[in-house]
Structures are given as structure tokens and as C-alpha cells.
Amino acid sequence: MGLNLRDKYLNFYSSDDSNLSIKERYLTLSRSFLIIMLLVTIVPLSITTALSYFQYRSLIRQETINNAQWNAESTRQGIESFIDKLRAMIQVVSESYRYKDLSVQENLDKVFENLKSKNKGIVDLSVIGPDGVQQAYSGPFNLKGKDYSDSPWYQKTLTRKVYVSEVFLGYRNVPHFVIAISKKVSGENGYWVLRASIDTDTLDQFLAGVRNENLVDAFLINSKGALQSSSHNYGNVSSQSPVSVERLPKNKDILTVENKQGSKSMVNVVARINESPWFLVLEQYGYADKKTWVLFKRELLVIYVVSFVVIICLTFFIASFLTSTVRKEEETREIILAESEHANKLASIGRLAAGIAHEINNPLAIINEKAGLMKDLLQVSNDFKYKDKFLMQIDAMENAVKRSRTITHRLLGFARRMDIKLEPVDINSVITEVLGFLDKEAAYQEIRIDQDLQPNLPDIMSDHGQLQQIFMNIINNAIDAVGNGGIIQISSRQIDTKTVRVDICDNGPGMPPEVLKKVFEPFFTTKKGSERQGTGLGLSITYGLIKKLGAKISASSEVGIGTTFTILIPIRSVSAEGGTDR
Amino acid sequence: MSKTKVLIVDDEEEFSNTLAERLCFRGFDAVSVGNADKAIAAIRNDWVPDVALLDLKMPGLSGLDTLEMIKKLDLGIEAIMITGHGSTASGIEGMKRGLFDYLMKPVDINELVAKINEAAKKNYDKT
């Protein structure tokens, strides 16, 4: 109940933080703004950045896998085509010649030369009879008469009719693979075999041709992981590679696996070479080492960091701007509330004062008349011993009544709500008139009044009488403050097109801040006990009048230096009550 | 020249009686009454005041009502309002209704005497 408007206002804004100082409250507000704004900016920025990162990573990863698969697929098709071509060549020879014809060395040599001219990878050509013994041989090695009846490739050729072998060393002890075709010997039960040996360098050269900037290694392996071509990473033919084909399902021709080799991400593709015992293995760099991905990551990081810094700076700026705006608004509201509170207080006190003055004036009038009558009677009565003393007492009573009357009349003046009579007023003239009233008083106390009035001040629309009252009150106060030998300086200036400023400075004792902030309060006086006792209403009335005229008053003071009252009067006066120009 | 007749109408009888006595000391024919009815009654008893001193706030009819009644009698009586209340509005209202002047309690006797004389002169000038 005892809270004033300002407290209520402050509590309204910070019911839970009432123990916090204003500075802490604004700090909390600023911090809240900052956190909220950072949340609504940084979080979406981070989410967008993360989404971009993962989405692009997914795209580039898929692209890398697709690229590796496409490479593997095209390489596989190339190898299959190469094998098909060799097989077709051998098949054509087997179809074109009879066993007997090819068993003749000269004929075989001719055919070999012909094949060799078409494919340099063919190392030799041989004819194996139904007994498994080589009947004719064209090539660099001395293999004629060799018995292959127990060789796995020979057995498989007989079974499958056409056979492409794994890479092996054989009798020649040189890595090679064979393409063999078995045919029935015409007129007999047995089968003869036409066999071509192919140098594994052919495969190496073929695989070397498919290398590109992303490709790390391309090689062939058999079902057990043994190299069928040389490998950049795992050595030469017949060495064991770490790649296992067990994970490749029977019904699938291609398998892609992502893994890491040290700090590098890799994509390994294993593809089955159809109608051969081989599997193609391609090892490519993964997406993580691709230039586009590295570049994208760098750009994304730069954009994120720059955006983050910009957002932080902007957020700090906006948070401080908002806080200072809110603070200014609150301060303005506080001032308005305080002024409204002051005006309400003045109005209440005014009504109270009017009532009190009326009630006191009647008994005062009775005292005054009774004392007066006593004086009248004494004056017509004969002299008696204490007549003069009686008369002196009555004079004292009358003086006391006069003093009381001054007080009650001031109280009524405080309460009075006179209409403002607007007219063109020359401020300098008003000040000069007021000084005319106070000249004698000042001279009596040897007070010097310096005037620094700007000539040709524009006339203002205001109330002449009320302005007189205002200056009278303030200059009177200054005279009381400076005492004997003091100095009062009065200046007037037009500070802009709308305002005239009047300063009244005195070199009196000054006021400490706690006194200064109460000078416009009703019944606040510093003249208690002094010769010229105050009612504490002078400056309060002045304040009320100034507000009524739409003007502003402020006071500054320093103990031991003096006090300055500054009045800002609008050139076109505005009624504070009506709030409109008249 | 006959004495100036003054009628004081105020519910504060201590005030009005004393004031009447003081005015008598100063050569006036002053009579005090406590309210408007008594004032009208006093005027009808073949005693017509030159000047009436009226209190503004009284029980029953106010000073302004009394002023109106006196003015209705059309006897040329001038009225001065003496009040402890500081309402300028009532003073202005009184002036509009023919009030001669307006004084605040407590009054200075010399100032009051001067006003009564001015009012009486105005009254005599009219007649």
C-alpha cells in the first residue's frame, strides 16, 4: 500500500528481480536479448551449415562410389571383351583346322604367327592330343612332348570345352594364363585340346590404361585373393592380396566397400569377370580426399565463421541498442510518472491547503478583530500603568496574525487554479519589473544583482503575471540564500527557435544533493529558524506555475559554490494541462 | 451627514460582532447578523444599509445567494465579500453579480474602512 508510483512501476517490470539493482537489471535484460538473438540466429545458421555439410557429403560420397563402380564396370567390360576376343580367335582356329592338320608343326607355326600378329599377348600356341601329351608347340619355350594329362587346367578344359585358366607358372616357370578349347578328334573317341598361353603383362598393360587421378590401384585376383596381375600396393603376380571375395554374393557381379587406409578414405570395388576365374579390384580415393570436398569444407567453414562473427557483432550491437532504447523509454516513463506523482501531490496538497486555510482564516479573523477592538478601546481609554505594554502586546498579536495570514494566503495561492492569460510577453521586461520590486531589499542587504539579458529576445506567448510570480519566487529565494554582500547573476538567452532560457545563479551556501532533489516538494524549506522563515511552498508554487505555462525548471547546486535555477520557456507557450497550443 | 450604515452578515458571530463594534468606533452605523434571513429581516425594518459585508460560506444561503437577494431588493446597497476561502472563482462570480469588492480574512481594518467608504461613495453617487 505504501509503494509510490515509481516503485510500483519498477516492480511491474521486475517483480522477481526486485532485489537487483537497476544496473544489474539492465545487464540481465541485455544478456537475455543477447542469448535470445544468438539462439534465433546461430542455431539456424548451425543447422543450415550442418545440413549443407551432410547433404553435400552424401552427394559427393555417392558420386565417388558411382564413379568407382562405373570405372570398375567399364574395366570389367574391357577385360571381358579382351578375353572374349582371345577365346574367339582360338575357337575359330579350332573350328577351322582339324587335329591332324594342326598337329603338323609347320601348320601350327603358321597359325601361331597369324594369331601373334593380331594379338601380341599370345606367347605360344600348342596342340595337346587325346592322351594329354603335347603334339605340337609354337612358341619360345621347349615344351613339345610335355604331358598335361594331370594338369588341372587340362582336366577343366576337357570338362568345360572352353577354359580360361588362372595365372600360373607351369613348366616354363613364367607367369601366364591359358585359353584352351577341347574338340573331339574326328573318327575317334578322344578329345584334342588347342591351347594358347597369354602373357600376364598383357593384363597389366590393360589395367594400367584404366588408371586415373582418383584410382590408387587396379588389379585382378582369383577367388582366394592371389594376385593375377601386378598390383601397385600388394606386389607382383601370385602374391597374396588382403582382398577377399567371400563378401561378394553369388548373384551379384559387383561389390563396393568403403574403408580407411591410414588417414585416407578409400572406396574398393570388387567386380566378377564373367567366364574367367578372376575378380577385378579397383581401389580409389574416397570422397574425403576429393579436391571438391576439401574446397567445399573450407568454403563452408569460412562462411560459417564469418557469419558467426558478423552475427555476434550485430547481436551485441542490437542487444545494446535495444537495452539502451528500453532504458531510455523506462527513464522517460519514470520521469513522466514522477512528474505526474508530483502534480498529483501538489493537487492533493492544494485541496488540503485550501481547506486548512479557510478553517484557519476564520479564527484568525476573530483574533485579529478582538485584538483590534482591544487596541481601539485602549486608545480611547485613559492612561494606566501598563497601557503601553498592553498596546505592545496587541501589536505583537496583530503582527502574528499578519504572519499567519501571509502563510494562509500563500497556501491558498498554492491551491488556486487561475486560468492562464496568454499574451505576448517580453521576458527581459518581466525580469526588470521583478528586480524593481526587489531592488530595495537587495540594496538593504548589499546584494549585487548582475544582469546579462540578451537584447532583442523574441516576445513569448505566456502569462505575464504568472511569470512575474515565478521570477519573484526564485529571485527572492536567491536573496535569502546569499545573505549580506552576496551576488546574484541573472541571464536570458534564446537557445533555439522555440525556447528562451533564463538562468538565476547565486553564490550562496549551495545545497547538498539530498536537499536539492527536494527543493520543489511542497512544505520543504531550508529557512526554518531563520529571520525570513519559509512556508516551503514558494518553489513548489513556482514549479506548478512553470508546468502550467508549459515551461521547464531545473536546479543545480554545489555546496560552498552556489545554486543555479534554469528555466526553459517555450516561445509559443503550451498549457501543460490542456496540452495544446493556444 | 448621516453615518454610513454597514450590515455585516457572517455566521462567525464573534467575528461579526467585534467587527461591527470596531466599525462603530470608526463612525459607522454597523449591525451584524448571523445569516441571510436575518440580513433580509434587518433591511426590512426601515434600516437600509449603504454597504453590506458578506461572508462567502455560511450555513443555509451562501454569501453569493445573499448578494443576489440584496441586489433583488434594488435598494442600491453595495456589497463587499469578506471570506476565509481563497477561491478566486467565487470572487469573480460575485463581481458578475454586482459585488463591489472582495477581501480575504483576516482583513486589515484600515483597508476595510477604505473599501467601505469607496462603496458608500459609489452608493451615494448613484442616489
ipTM metric: 0.87
Between chains, do A373 and B18 touch, taking CB under 8 Å as contact? yes
Res. B34 pLDDT band, cuts 50 70 90: very high
| pLDDT higher than threshold 60 for residue A574 | no
- For chain B, give percent helix, strand, coil, nearest 5: 45, 20, 35
The A residues from 402 to 461 touching B (CB cutoff 8 Å) are 405, 409, 411-413, 415-416, 418
Alpha-carbon span B55 to B103, nearest angstrom:
10
Chain B residues touching A368 at Cβ < 8 A: 105-107
CATH, range B5-126: 3.40.50.2300
Between chains, do B21 and A373 touch, taking CB under 8 Å as contact? yes
Provide the pLDDT for residue A33: 86
Lowest mean pLDDT of A166-180, A360-374, A535-549, B72-86, name the range. Answer: A535-549
Between chains, do B22 and A372 touch, taking CB under 8 Å as contact? yes
* Amino acid type, A55: Q
| pLDDT higher than threshold 80 for residue B88 | no
Within 13 Å, how many C-alpha atoms sit on residue A199's CB side?
15
Between chains, do A361 and B88 touch, taking CB under 8 Å as contact? no
Question: Class of the A418-582 domain?
Answer: alpha beta
A97-203 maps to CATH 3.40.190.170: no
Alpha-carbon span A141 to A143, nearest angstrom:
6
Between chains, do A354 and B109 touch, taking CB under 8 Å as contact? no
Res. A439 pLDDT band, cuts 50 70 90: confident
Parse chain B into domains and list their residue ranges.
5-126
- Chain A contact present for B62, CB below 8 A: no
- Over residues A18-33, the mean pLDDT reads 77
Distance from CA of B46 to the nearest CA of A (A): 28
Res. A151 pLDDT band, cuts 50 70 90: confident
Alpha-carbon span A382 to B109, nearest angstrom:
23
Which residue from A360, A372, A405 is facing B109, i.e. has the nearest CB? A372
Distance from CA of B17 to the nearest CA of A (A): 9
HEC sequence for A490-552: EEEEEEECCEEEEEEEECCCCCCHHHHCCCCCCCCCCCCCCCCCCCCCHHHHHHHHHHHCCCE
Q: What is the pLDDT of residues A455-488, one digit of tens each?
A: 989 888 888 778 887 888 889 889 888 888 899 9
The B residues from 6 to 25 touching A (CB cutoff 8 Å) are 12, 14-15, 18-19, 21-22, 25
Distance from CA of A413 to the nearest CA of B (A): 8
Convert A389-426 to b/e letters by CB count within 10 Å (16 or more is b): ebeeebeebbeebeebbebbbbbbbbbbeeebebeebe
- Chain A contact present for B59, CB below 8 A: no
| pLDDT higher than threshold 70 for residue A22 | yes
Which residue from A359, A364, A418 is facing B106, i.e. has the nearest CB? A364
Pick the closest to residue A367 from A335, A398, A331 (CA basis).
A398
Dihedral sign for Cα atoms in the order A153, A156, A157, A158:
positive
Per-residue DSSP letter, B50: S
**pTM beyond 0.95, yes or no:** no
Res. B54 pLDDT band, cuts 50 70 90: very high
Strands A499-506 and A562-570: antiparallel
* Amino acid type, A449: I
| pLDDT higher than threshold 80 for residue A280 | yes
* DSSP output for A287-336: GGG-HHHHHHHHHHHHHHHHHHHHHHHHHHHHHHHHHHHHHHHHHHHHHH
- Chain A contact present for B107, CB below 8 A: yes
| pLDDT higher than threshold 80 for residue A531 | no
Parse chain A into domains and list their residue ranges.
97-203, 418-582
- Over residues A538-552, the mean pLDDT reads 82
Between chains, do A370 and B84 touch, taking CB under 8 Å as contact? no
Provide the pLDDT for residue A2: 40
State whether residue A235 is helix, strand or coil.
strand
Alpha-carbon span B104 to A362, nearest angstrom:
10
Res. A440 pLDDT band, cuts 50 70 90: confident
Res. B45 pLDDT band, cuts 50 70 90: low
Between chains, do B19 and A415 touch, taking CB under 8 Å as contact? no
Between chains, do A405 and B106 touch, taking CB under 8 Å as contact? yes
